Structure 1
Amino acid sequence: MKLIIFLFVFGLQYSFAQLPADKKLKVDSLIQQYIETKQFSGCVLVAKNNEVLYQQAFGYANREEQVPNRIATNFNIASMGKTFTATLIMQLVQEGKLSIDQTLASILPEYNVKKADSITVWHLLTHTSGVGNYMMHVNFEAERHQLKSLNDVMPYVVAMDPTLDYVGQRHDYSNSGFILLGKIIEKITGKSYMQNLEERIFKPAGIKRSYIHYPATFVAPNEATPYLAYTGKTFINAAAEEFPAFSDGGMQSNVIDLYRFAKALLNGKLLSATMRDSMWSGKVATGRADKYSFGWVDEQTDFGKRTYSHSGGGKGFSSDLKIVKEDGYIVIVLINNRVNPREVTNNILRILYSKDTRKPEKYLENVLMEVTEQKGFDYVRTNYKSILKEKGFDKTPNPWVYIMFSDMFEMMKDFDKAFEVIEMGREEFPKEASLYNVTGQLYANQKKFKEAAEWFNKALAINPEDEFAKMMLKNISTKL
């Protein structure tokens, strides 16, 4: 009865089956391992074609008030939203209103985007345009909460310098590229990006509760609050860290609506099979074991199945949607914490295909924070090597342990400890430029720009090609 009432209230229209008992038990056990090792909190949905096989909510939409997540809870899906933008673009191509080979200069001549006469829609869709990331603009952080439309964002996009020597040089993930695709959609249709979502995707797919709004409010349980959960006790409310949502990502959505989106693609409601497969088919190597297509990732997995997917992440959100077209499987994971969502969806698919899962491991930086809770930071600093040995390490696996551990203290506004951790890191990895960059970033975040510049220059002394150090020096040059 409770299930029937819930389905009626939420207005769901799908049949509900169940995973075989042994597989359900394994998925439940898997998620519990993620809860224990990485403080997993969120929603999981598994479907096959028109049947939902598994759906479950875990943890809290609001940790402070202990408001639980629900299946209906909306999460910031971050860059997963690029799949919606790509679908809208392919609809326009299908309708003959746009060509993949058209140049940016021919479509949006009113904007002086650098190299626009060489950049095509194909380059934008595959992240090979080199237009960069508008979020790196020197003024973006201070002004981001004022941005409410694609028009508001365009000055930041236009101002950025190219990140590639030439258009098409390589895959270079670009949020700015998908802002430009959003503007192309608005230009061709004469309607806002959100109107296009509503009319072209939401309505035909039956999506009921997804949206982009300004500002994001994160009112639980309708919306999950983003968190940086370091241990079972220590967490940071990351709502203030979230970026505004546009055609490059940030939509508020839930596992049911995303299932409807995936199902509509599989069933040919949004695109023809030919156009959909063209969108999904891999185009450009990413440097991982996959290829980027048009707003999707095409991967041949190590368990023998081809998946089409896209993940997303922010300070306090993680998301992934995977589709196995061959068998009709859809797996969706939405998390209101910083956890690798692809690891979770891959493990669930391994269970579905009766393969061994990869056991979730607690990050070393989280272990260090747990020891800090129990015995204090002075103990960690003094006994660091012995703590490593207790956890099975002869030395720190990589510099990112220090970077992430430092970031925890920075987010908690404990800058002294953040600096100390990075100093420990530089002692062990003296030739790692990123550790000098983090020190510079810590100073910059405290508006100590002279000191910041000194450390960014030290990073460049180690690696003269360090793009982050170059960018930060440029950004703070007017503040010295």
Structure 2
Amino acid sequence: MNAKPSFFHTPITRRRVVQTAGVTSLLAAGGLLAFQGYRSAFAAPATTSSLPATLAPGGELDQYVQQLAQQDQFSGTFLLAQRDKPVLLRAYGMANKARHIPNGPQTLYATASIAKSFTATAIAQLAQQQKLTFTDPIGKYLQGFPADIADSVTIHQLLTHTSGMGDFHLAPDYQAKLATWQSAAETLNGLLEIIKQQPLQSTPGTAFSYSNSGYVTLGAIVAHVSGMDYYDYIHQHVFAAAGMSKSRFYTKPQRERRGDIAHPYNSEHIDISANQGFIGEPAGDAYTTVEDLLRYSRALQTHHLLNPSFTDLLMTGKVAVPPPPTPNGPVPTASSGQQPQGTPMPLPQRSVKQAYGLLDSLTNGIRSVWHTGGSEGASTIFEMFPTLGYNLVILSNYGGQDSFMKLIMRAEMLIIQG
């Protein structure tokens, strides 16, 4: 589940990264990290001749990721691509320390809140098919909400975190109930029952307040309007449609059985798999690879998931996001107005607006569309730079690390500075 995160307030623990002899070898010319038996699904890396030296294999960004990994401050997979061509692909650390399984290009990671983008895409698809409108109140589709919520909270407000709804993670009985849910249906139905009992935090439409409860509600609307199970809809109409062949909402038994799913490690680098729920939900924790998220990026930008008009509607900012981001919301980067200690990068001029399941930023005149995720055992970012043609995906199975925020800032600024 997308557990309530600590969001990088825990002191960094430094340990040596585990090295596994014979597992990896660097192909510096192509910028790819080649694993035994691994071949990238993308035909060939982009030429590095047009890359700035800071972004090229062996350059400043590559060295920075390696430095963090050597200090055991980064465990995961890092991908920088020019459109659909990887130019820097690196994997460090362990997917499963107990079984000595290393992270690799095909490792599946919990997305945390990046999953909200999949839910928003599903809603936009249904709107494109004229099965719903963004101005519809949620009471049109879902029963059991109090009248002040059912009649006044709209789909648009849910998508833009302006509904006034709160966070189911904060419900006193959430953790106890989480441990009892043993199916996807029990999980979604149980979450909805908690959410229906939560009062509004503010008047709908008056304020931005990051809401996990709002996105679970959107997932229930996807199921009602489509007539399909939420998970089946996302798999068929988002993952499969985008060519994301490995992406799923994997269940706890599947996560325990498979060797290619990264176990979550908290800020003390303790495996917290046993504390997780049966399955993720519409607000968080689908599982994916860096290459599948690159496919998702390309599917959005080439209009394979939505037509051009609805793609623009999905990705264009609508509501200003006040700094700093709210708890359990987007990872604070330079957009928050806060510069991490020890980071030499200059603080950029940045404005951020909430789009539908994504954020739309303008940083030093360069646009990026993105979402981050954070939980006790996951730190993630998915970022598109439409005018520059870059795609950045970083998936980590370490949670609560200040170093991940610094890595995001370093990567963003080097990309923007070119």
Same fold at TM > 0.5: yes
Counterpart of 1:292 in structure 2 is 354
Native 8 Å contact 1:123 1:167 kept in 2: yes
Return the alpha-carbon distance in structure 2 between the equivalents of residues 29 and 66 of structure 1: 25
Counterpart of 1:245 in structure 2 is 280
Native 8 Å contact 2:96 2:102 kept in 1: yes
Return the alpha-carbon distance in structure 1 between the equivalents of residues 321 and 34 of structure 2: 45
- Deviation digits for residues 178-206 of structure 1 (CA, Å, limit 9, x no counterpart): 01100111001110111111221122211
Matches within 5 A, 1:144-155: 144-147=178-181, 148-149=184-185, 150-155=188-193
2:398 is equivalent to residue 337 of structure 1:
yes
TM-score by length of 2: 0.77
Return the alpha-carbon distance in structure 2 between the equivalents of residues 195 and 13 of structure 1: 27
- Deviation digits for residues 424-445 of structure 1 (CA, Å, limit 9, x no counterpart): xxxxxxxxxxxxxxxxxxxxxx
2:250 to 191, 203, 213: 213
Return the alpha-carbon distance in structure 1 between the equivalents of residues 75 and 33 of structure 2: 25
Counterpart of 1:455 in structure 2 is none
Greater RCO, CA 8 A, separation 6+: 2
Return the alpha-carbon distance in structure 1 between the equivalents of residues 91 and 64 of structure 2: 14
Native 8 Å contact 1:69 1:221 kept in 2: no
Task: Name the structure where helix makes up a greater proportion of residues.
Answer: 1
Native 8 Å contact 2:318 2:355 kept in 1: yes
Counterpart of 2:161 in structure 1 is 127
Describe the shift of the 1:215–1:114 C-alpha distance in structure 2 as closer, same or farther (beyond 3 A). Answer: farther
- Deviation digits for residues 37-87 of structure 1 (CA, Å, limit 9, x no counterpart): 562100011112221212111111123443210110111111100000001
Native 8 Å contact 2:119 2:218 kept in 1: yes
Shift of 1:240: 2.8
2:313 is equivalent to residue 264 of structure 1:
no
Describe the shift of the 1:151–1:124 C-alpha distance in structure 2 as closer, same or farther (beyond 3 A). Answer: same
Structure 1 residue matching 2:153: 3-state secondary structure: coil
Matches within 5 A, 1:403-422: none
Return the alpha-carbon distance in structure 1 between the equivalents of residues 77 and 258 of structure 2: 14
- Deviation digits for residues 68-126 of structure 1 (CA, Å, limit 9, x no counterpart): 10110111111100000001111111111110000111222354475220100011001
- Deviation digits for residues 197-219 of structure 1 (CA, Å, limit 9, x no counterpart): 12211222111111113226355
Question: For structure 1, which runs of at least 5 residues remain unmatched after alignment?
Answer: 356-480
Return the alpha-carbon distance in structure 2 between the equivalents of residues 108 and 307 of structure 1: 34
TM-score by length of 1: 0.68
Native 8 Å contact 1:77 1:249 kept in 2: yes
Native 8 Å contact 1:67 1:220 kept in 2: no
1:61 to 95, 110, 132: 95
Counterpart of 2:63 in structure 1 is 29
Counterpart of 1:192 in structure 2 is 229
**Residues matched between the structures, number:** 349
Return the alpha-carbon distance in structure 1 between the equivalents of residues 200 and 274 of structure 2: 29
Native 8 Å contact 2:267 2:376 kept in 1: no
Root-mean-square deviation (CA, aligned residues, Å) is: 2.6
2:188 is equivalent to residue 157 of structure 1:
no
Describe the shift of the 1:242–1:142 C-alpha distance in structure 2 as closer, same or farther (beyond 3 A). Answer: same
Return the alpha-carbon distance in structure 2 between the equivalents of residues 141 and 228 of structure 1: 17
Native 8 Å contact 1:131 1:163 kept in 2: yes
Counterpart of 1:407 in structure 2 is none
Counterpart of 2:46 in structure 1 is 17
2:385 to 324, 348, 354: 324
Native 8 Å contact 2:374 2:380 kept in 1: yes
Structure showing greater Rg: 1
Shift of 1:10: 6.7
2:130 to 84, 93, 96: 96
- Deviation digits for residues 368-425 of structure 1 (CA, Å, limit 9, x no counterpart): xxxxxxxxxxxxxxxxxxxxxxxxxxxxxxxxxxxxxxxxxxxxxxxxxxxxxxxxxx
